[in-house]
Homo-oligomer: A and B are copies of this chain.
Amino acid sequence: MSDKSFHPPPRLLMGPGPSNVPQRVLDAGARPTIGHLDPAFMEFMDEVKDLLRWVFRTSNDLTMPVSGPGTAGMEACFANLLEPGDTALICRNGVFGQRMVEMVERIGAHAIVVDDEWGRAVDPQKVEDALAANPATKLLAFVHAETSTGAQSDGETLAALARAHGCLSLMDCVTSLGGIPVEIDAWGVDAAYSGTQKCLSAPPGLSPVTLSEAAVTRIRERRTPVQSWFMDFRLVMNYWGSEGRRSYHHTAPVNALYGLHESLLLLREEGLEAAWQRHATLSRVLRGRLEAIGLEYLVPVEERLPQLNTLRIPAAVDDAAGRLSLLQDHGIEIGAGLGPLAGLVWRIGLMGDSCRQSSVDRCADALSAVLKLPAEATA
């Protein structure tokens, strides 16, 4: 057993997350731990909630970080919004849509799946048809920014369809929040969850969520308890809520919350629109560089996420060897393909603090070198 402290190797993180975390955020997370019921921490929690409302563009009272990674926030939303026997319509155009289906089924609810090709946006027409055909649908769930493919779906249109058909909407914005417009209130999204390690550039481990009044009412009117005590928002809100005194539910991840708070301050200093613009602009610069070295995008241009660029791996290049060379020879992490895209694509993130001109240059230069390696070196 090693008795040495761990010193991570230097990495430029250009995969599908985590992105590089600014020193200020790392330093904030290293401030002294205080108690999760300390009056000073209670005030701090209010600031975190205000900052999350700001970044989600919402006035939702129930806006808070779930004490677990994005996957925990995702499951907490389904577990609270659905009861056994309920019907949910799930848009599946990548890994995370499939994950939604699995979570819905484990809850004992019924999932109706609207499939779209991996690498394409969700087709609103198909969703409208499915909602019309299934009037008992209680929840429409979709992934705003599919991290497994780099496709962006139209959150505003999908949320409007849900409303028109009398059901709630749940939007996965793990990879979108902070990188492209996410407008919870303007779009009328009922529930959304995100992660900290993508365009917010905080360490992974927390999942900001926000729920509309209608979603909260749905939860209040449940006939059955949420299967998970840890994820039950009615209980969690006794701690995070604004009504009355804060009572203990679980011990909040104090230092991780320090980091999230600081990352949101950094985003406020830059401005949310400015951050969206930075992601849009630098993804165009990256595109020019990558197309110049012959790489092709998986996703049609009008459905592409600026913060996650999915490129087809040239036939002459070995997937794993290419990524290993990028990592070991150039210190750059990019992402592999998942599921049916494994071995076929690379996912290049331009998220949060990793979205810099210098990252674009280093990544394009390194890819250029890796693609020029003789076949035997990468095979």
Contact = CB atoms under 8 A, between A and B. Distances in A.
Contacts of A249: 71
B17 A71 contact: no
A30 B26 contact: yes
A259 interface: yes
Given A69-B251, A228-B75, A250-B70, A20 B40 contact: no
**Central interface residue in A24, A39, A72, A74, by most chain B CB within 10 Å:** A72
Interface stretch (A2-10, A134-142, A159-167, A299-307): A2-10
Nearest to A226: B106
Contact of A35 (B68, B106, B333): B333
A107 B268 CA distance: 42
A35 B205 CA distance: 13
B26 A10 contact: no
Interface string A265-277: 1001100000000
A365 interface: no
Interface string A229-270: 111000000000000000011111111101101100100110
A352 to B, nearest CB: 11
Contacts of A255: 21, 26, 29, 203-205, 256, 259
Contacts of A21: 32-33, 255
B28 A27 contact: no
A339 to B, nearest CB: 10
A13 B26 contact: no
**Central interface residue in A15, A31, A230, A262, by most chain B CB within 10 Å:** A230
Number of copies: 2
A68 B68 contact: yes
Interface residue tally of chain A, by bracket? 35 or more
A5 B265 contact: yes
A33 B74 CA distance: 23
A222 interface: no
Given A6-B261, A21-B32, A39-B327, A205 B256 contact: yes
A28 B6 contact: yes
A230 B31 contact: no
A2 B259 CA distance: 15
Interface stretch (A46-54, A178-186, A213-221, A289-297): A46-54
A174 to B, nearest CB: 9
Among all A-B residue pairs, the 3 with the closest Cβ atoms: A205-B253, A30-B30, A71-B250
Given A67-B205, A205-B253, A205-B254, 19 more contacts: A3-B268, A3-B269, A6-B28, A6-B47, A6-B258, A11-B32, A11-B35, A17-B251, A18-B34, A18-B36, A18-B254, A21-B255, A29-B30, A67-B68, A67-B69, A106-B225, A195-B251, A203-B254, A228-B228
